[in-house]
Amino acid sequence: MNSFTYTSATAVDAAVREKSTNSKAAFVAGGTNLLDLMKENVERPTRLIGLNKLSDLATIENNPEGGLRLGALATNADTAWHPEVEKRYPLLSQTILAGASPQLRNMATNGGNLMQRTRCYYFYDLATPCNKREPGSGCSALNGFNRIHAILGASEHCIATYPSDMAVALAALEATVRVSGPQGERTIAFADFHRLPGDHPEIDNTLETGELITALDLPAQGFEKNFTYLKLRDRTSYAFAVVSVAVGLELEGNVIKEARIALGGVAHKPWRVVAVEETLRGATATEDNFREAATALLRDAQGYGSNNFKIELAKRAVVRALKQATEMNQPLDANAFLNSNP
């Protein structure tokens, strides 16, 4: 860990101002990923701006669009177990609870969750080249041990995945990210927040210099009747997803009125293909239609050796998740993942 100074921010403006004038500064809230990476010498900020005193950003309340506004500094645990989230967005609740551990969820914040960096072994290990950590040094995973790596949207420079569970549900729910920056406030559609690696894998998202996430807006549609988060991992809990699927369905009888499917663990961002979701609109909720959608979703998938299996696994997971959301043969309390974890 390198040498740094610490300050506790008392106002968003001042925090943003300081961050935008110091390229070596970093915001810290929960610290669960930043401090981990600082101990590995992957992140090396010389100034930490603590956000935890900005209690205005820790609230969860209704937004003008009829949805819910999740403060960026609300913890993952407080969000998952918030009565409104449990009632109106059980998909989000279930998804958050499938991630990390109770301790980490008590620390990690909603804003910080979006800022998580990849778990790529090579990114974490300074002894190996990594374009994300050190642009131009090469991608060791491309021809290396890439079991946990991307099968969609990767580039020759980087095949890392983005590890968050929560974001997969946020993608399916079409949340909006509210940010505050030197130029004032703006909103970013969730699909536009994270980016694909392309030529610049060192850049994870579309935040501008100095910008701070202040809240996440959930639209009114919460898919609270038909939803599921299916997470496949190498142990039953406290492990990152090998592949995960968040599904929200609006059904009228057996006919799909609206479908959302987001994949985790397969790309540099939560993976959605709106065109595929559109083909499901008006279709009946049958296994054949689900299989067709899964095939279409994974059409451009590419394996790199150890992760080839994820293509078939993701297809099967999509079909299973769609079935599960249709039938809702899963308990509906917030701990539903306990019983539906395959």
Partner 1 sequence: MIQQPTNTAGGATSLPAPPSAGSVTLTINGVQRHMQLAPWTTLLDALREYADLTGTKKGCDHGQCGSCTVLVNGKRINSCLTLAVMQEGNEITTIEGLGQPESLSPLQQAFIDHDAFQCGYCTPGQICSAQGLLNEGRAHTEDEIRELMSGNICRCGAYVGILAAVKEVVDKQSEIVK
Partner 2 sequence: MSQLITTPRLVEAGTSNTSHIGKPTSRVEGPAKVTGTAKYSAEFNVPDMLYGYVVTSPITKGRITKINTEPVLALAGVVQIFSHENVPSLAWFDRSYKDDVAPGGSPFRPLHDNEIKFNMQPVALVVAETFEVARYAASVLEIEYAEDKFDTNIDLKRDEGHEPGSGKTGFMPPPPPRGNPNDALKNATHRIEGEYIHGAQHHNPMEMFATTVEYHPDGKITAYDKTQGVYNVQQYITKIFGLSKDQARVVNHYMGGGFGSGLRPQYQVFLAVLAALELKQSVRVSLTRQQMFSFGHRPHTLQYLKMGTNPDGTLAALHHHALHETSRFEEYTENVVNWSGMLYQCENVKLGYQVAELDVYTPLDMRAPGAATGSFGLEVAMDEMAYAAGIDPLDFRIRNYAEQDQNMKKPFSSKKLRECYHEGATRFGWDKRTPEPRSMREGNQLIGWGMAGGVWDASMQKAAAKATFTADGKLLVQSAAGENGTGTYTIMTQIAAETLGLPIEAVTFELGDTNMPEAPVQGGSWTAASVGSAVKNVCTDIGEKLLKLAQKMEGSPLKGASIDDVHFADGQIRLSANPSEAVVVRDILAASGEEKLEAETSAMPNLIKQQPYSMHSHNAVFAEVRVDEDLGTVHVTRVVNAVAAGRILNTKTARSQVLGSVVWGISMALMEETVMDHTFGRYMNHNYAEYHIPVNADIHDIDVIFVEEEDDKVNPLGVKGIGEVGMLGVAAAITNAVYHATGKRVRELPIYMDKLL
**Interatomic CA distance for residues 246 and 325, integer angstroms:** 9
The widest CA-to-CA distance across the chain, in whole angstroms, is 61
Residue whose pair of structure tokens reads 């609006």 in the numeric block: 250
The reply on whether position 127 binds partner 2 by CB under 8 A is yes
Angle between helices 309-327 and 287-297 (to 10 degrees): 140
The reply on whether position 309 binds partner 2 by CB under 8 A is yes
The reply on whether position 203 binds partner 2 by CB under 8 A is no
Output the smallest distance, CB 161 to partner 2, in A: 13
Helix or strand holding residue 250 (H, E): strand 243-252
Task: For the beta carbon of residue 211, count every other beta carbon within 10 angstroms.
Answer: 22
Whose Cβ is closer to partner 1: residue 209's or residue 236's? Answer: 236
- Taking CB under 8 A as the criterion, which residues in 11-40 touch partner 2? 39
The reply on whether position 1 binds partner 2 by CB under 8 A is yes
The answer to whether 247 touches 325, Cβ cutoff 8 Å, is yes
Look at residue 50 and give the partner it binds from partner 2, partner 1, none, a contact being a CB closer than 5 to 8 Å depending on partner kind: partner 1
Whose Cβ is closer to partner 2: residue 18's or residue 40's? Answer: 40
Could you tell me which stretch among 101-109, 139-147, 195-203, 259-267 binds partner 1 (CB under 8 A)? 101-109
Q: Determine which residue in the list 3, 6, 253, 339 makes contact with partner 2, applying CB under 8 A.
A: 3
Q: Is 185 helix (H, G, I), strand (E, B) or coil?
A: strand
Binding string, 65-104, against partner 2, x = CB under 8 A?
----------------------------------------
The answer to whether 9 touches 15, Cβ cutoff 8 Å, is yes
How far from 61 is each of 56, 58, 114, 215, 303, CA to CA, in Å?
11, 10, 20, 11, 42
The answer to whether 171 touches 270, Cβ cutoff 8 Å, is yes
The reply on whether position 144 binds partner 1 by CB under 8 A is no
Whose Cβ is closer to partner 2: residue 5's or residue 238's? Answer: 238
> What single-letter amino acid sits at 132?
K
Q: Per residue, what are the HEC states of 264-313? A: ECCCCCCECCHHHHHHHCCCECCHHHHHHHHHHHCCCCCCCCCCCHHHHH
Could you tell me which stretch among 67-75, 88-96, 164-172, 316-324 binds partner 2 (CB under 8 A)? 316-324
Helices in the chain by DSSP H: which ranges? 12-21, 34-39, 76-80, 83-88, 90-97, 102-107, 110-114, 121-124, 166-172, 190-193, 274-280, 287-297, 309-327, 337-340
Residue whose pair of structure tokens reads 């059904």 in the numeric block: 251
Whose Cβ is closer to partner 1: residue 106's or residue 302's? Answer: 106
- Taking CB under 8 A as the criterion, which residues in 103-132 touch partner 1? 103-104, 106-107, 126-127
Look at residue 260 and give the partner it binds from partner 2, partner 1, none, a contact being a CB closer than 5 to 8 Å depending on partner kind: none
The reply on whether position 331 binds partner 2 by CB under 8 A is no
- Taking CB under 8 A as the criterion, which residues in 308-337 touch partner 1? 334-335, 337
Whose Cβ is closer to partner 1: residue 34's or residue 322's? Answer: 34
Q: Interface with partner 1 by CB under 8 A: which residues?
A: 1-6, 8, 28, 30-32, 35-36, 39-41, 44, 46, 48, 50, 52, 77, 81, 100-104, 106-107, 126-127, 236-238, 334-335, 337-339
